[in-house]
């Protein structure tokens, strides 16, 4: 009997302790709800509001007594009431619901767009007895969304929005003009409809990059237009995020590369057919392109030059000087009369001068240099010949100067002799006159 009494006492003590814990827990929850900056409410499973904080009253413009013990159906439409009731069942089954759109009417009659996230409210035995809901006022977000949609719609470049599976959710008129499709032929369609299987895989991989890094740049896409034309484009995209900051898609900007491809082909033609040795290098000095005049100058085959570093054919010191010249190209857009002495396939060191200008990407960033080499061997031979001629001329001048000294010396001696003869003649005449 004593043991039974002691057991009963322990059970009652444990029940009192549990009740105290529950009471303290409930008090802490009430304090959190009351002081939450966002509108927070508690409702039962029929949608009756049991508790709401001041932020709810401020959002809707109702007093507390006009909100508490009222059904949510007072503030939302019958359709949204049915959706909210269905969402309550989701809370019971899964414990949470996210991003349910509600448009409650305020005291002034304004319909306020909100987003509701809610979690289950449970009794001490763990049964769901209601929900704790957090409302997010979407008016500013809706304004921002409308502004973003306006920017997309009126952008001069082709702009589209896709989800993470590549389905096109939105596109502007420039997209339809580029591809020749009607809106109903693109919206809600997969990008795989207009790009190849391989490019679809690349685009899906690029979407993963958007999720991880928030951006992707210069992805090459070649969509097929309504007429069947394959249009070369470049895609830059940034992450599309939901109100919680999670990436839910991508905003892509296409750049029609047809004119750029024509310009590139024209530039490549100019380089290929230039009479002077012309090459293209990246900013690390790797040769990306070179014309026949380069191969003729150096005696290498194309595969021995293309994708090779310039350091293969110039000295370490000149490589450093060339990289410094590349920095000058980046800063000033041009470098002039840089001295390079590349080694040919036969081992001959060929004196050249380099003039280079910046190679830029479609966004205007310097990505390399276009260099023109001038073979200085003939020039330097002319300089050497001139130096040799100058030396020979100087020797002849010295010989002339010596000859002049000899000639002048003789003339002076002749003048002296003539003067001496004149003097002797004068003395002779005087002597003859004295005898007479």
Domain boundary among 256, 284, 300: 256
* Residue in 35, 64, 43, 170 with CA at minimum distance from that of residue 116: 43
Rounded to whole angstroms, the Cα distance separating 353 from 374 reads 5
Both 244 and 267 in a single domain?
no
Both 119 and 185 in a single domain?
no
- Whether residue 328 is contained in a domain is answered as yes
Both 28 and 127 in a single domain?
yes
- Whether residue 15 is contained in a domain is answered as no
**pLDDT confidence of residue 339:** 87
- Whether residue 119 is contained in a domain is answered as yes
Both 115 and 161 in a single domain?
no
User: Which DSSP state fits 191?
Assistant: G
The domain of 299 spans 261-375
Both 226 and 281 in a single domain?
no
> Do 115 and 38 form a contact (C-beta atoms < 8 A)?
no
pLDDT higher than threshold 70 for residue 158: yes
- Whether residue 302 is contained in a domain is answered as yes
pLDDT higher than threshold 50 for residue 296: yes
Both 97 and 184 in a single domain?
no
Both 85 and 170 in a single domain?
no
* Count: domains in the chain: 3
- In tens, the pLDDT along 203-248 reads 888 888 888 888 888 888 899 999 999 999 988 988 888 777 888 8
> Do 295 and 303 form a contact (C-beta atoms < 8 A)?
no
Both 75 and 40 in a single domain?
yes
- In tens, the pLDDT along 45-104 reads 888 999 999 999 899 999 988 889 988 888 888 888 888 888 888 888 888 888 888 888
- Whether residue 250 is contained in a domain is answered as yes
Both 271 and 206 in a single domain?
no
**pLDDT confidence of residue 176:** 93
Half-sphere exposure of 5 (CA within 13 A, CB side): 2
Residue labelled with tokens 């939105």: 170
Residue positions counted in the chain? 436
CATH number at 65 reads 3.30.450.20
Question: Which residues are CB-contacts of 57 (< 8 A; sequence separation ≥ 6)?
Answer: 63, 64, 67
- In tens, the pLDDT along 8-40 reads 444 444 444 444 434 444 555 677 777 778 899
Domain boundary among 195, 225, 256: 256
pLDDT higher than threshold 70 for residue 4: no
- Whether residue 395 is contained in a domain is answered as no
- Whether residue 423 is contained in a domain is answered as no
Domain boundary among 230, 256, 282: 256
Both 368 and 267 in a single domain?
yes
Query: Kind and range of the H or E element at 10?
Result: helix 2-35
**For the residues 159-187, what does the mean pLDDT come to?**
91
**pLDDT confidence of residue 14:** 41
Both 132 and 150 in a single domain?
no
- Whether residue 388 is contained in a domain is answered as no
**pTM, rounded to two decimals:** 0.49
Residue labelled with tokens 């928030």: 214
Both 113 and 166 in a single domain?
no
Rounded to whole angstroms, the Cα distance separating 241 from 353 reads 53
**For the residues 391-409, what does the mean pLDDT come to?**
81
């Amino acid at each position: 009997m004593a043991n039974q009494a002691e057991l009963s006492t322990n059970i009652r003590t444990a029940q009192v302790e549990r009740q105290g814990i529950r009471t303290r827990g409930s008090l802490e929850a009430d304090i959190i709800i009351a002081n939450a900056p966002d509108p927070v409410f508690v409702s039962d499973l029929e949608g009756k509001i049991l508790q709401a904080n001041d932020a709810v009253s401020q959002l809707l413009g109702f007093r507390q007594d006009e909100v508490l013990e009222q059904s949510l159906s007072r503030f939302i439409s019958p359709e949204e009431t049915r959706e909210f009731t269905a969402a309550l069942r989701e809370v019971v089954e899964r414990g949470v619901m996210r991003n349910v759109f509600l448009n409650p009417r305020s005291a002034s009659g304004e319909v306020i767009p909100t987003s509701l996230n809610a979690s289950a409210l449970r009794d001490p035995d763990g049964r769901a007895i209601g929900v704790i809901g957090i409302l997010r006022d979407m008016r500013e977000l809706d304004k921002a969304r409308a502004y973003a949609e306006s920017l997309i719609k009126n952008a001069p470049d082709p702009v589209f929005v896709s989800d993470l599976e590549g389905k096109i959710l939105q596109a502007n008129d420039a997209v339809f003009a580029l591809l020749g499709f009607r809106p109903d032929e693109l919206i809600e369609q997969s990008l795989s409809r207009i790009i190849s299987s391989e490019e679809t895989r690349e685009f899906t991989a690029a979407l993963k990059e958007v999720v991880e890094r928030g951006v992707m740049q210069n992805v090459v896409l070649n969509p097929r237009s309504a007429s069947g034309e394959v249009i070369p484009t470049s895609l830059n995209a940034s992450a599309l995020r939901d109100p919680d900051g999670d990436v839910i898609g991508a905003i892509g900007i296409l750049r029609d590369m047809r004119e750029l491809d024509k310009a590139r082909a024209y530039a490549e033609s100019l380089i290929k057919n230039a009479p002077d040795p012309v090459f293209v290098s990246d900013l690390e000095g790797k040769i990306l392109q070179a014309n026949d005049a380069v191969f003729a100058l150096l005696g290498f085959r194309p595969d021995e030059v293309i994708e090779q570093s310039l350091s293969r054919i110039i000295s370490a010191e000149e490589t450093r000087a060339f990289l410094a010249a590349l920095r000058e190209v980046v800063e000033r857009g041009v470098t002039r009369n840089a001295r390079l002495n590349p080694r040919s396939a036969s081992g001959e060191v060929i004196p050249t001068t380099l003039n280079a200008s910046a190679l830029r990407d479609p966004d205007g960033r310097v990505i390399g240099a276009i260099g023109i080499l001038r073979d200085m061997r003939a020039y330097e031979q002319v300089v050497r010949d001139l130096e040799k001629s100058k030396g020979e001329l100087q020797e002849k001048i010295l010989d002339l100067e010596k000859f002049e000294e000899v000639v002048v010396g003789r003339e002076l001696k002749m003048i002296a002799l003539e003067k001496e003869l004149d003097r002797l003649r004068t003395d002779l005449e005087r002597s003859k006159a004295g005898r007479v």
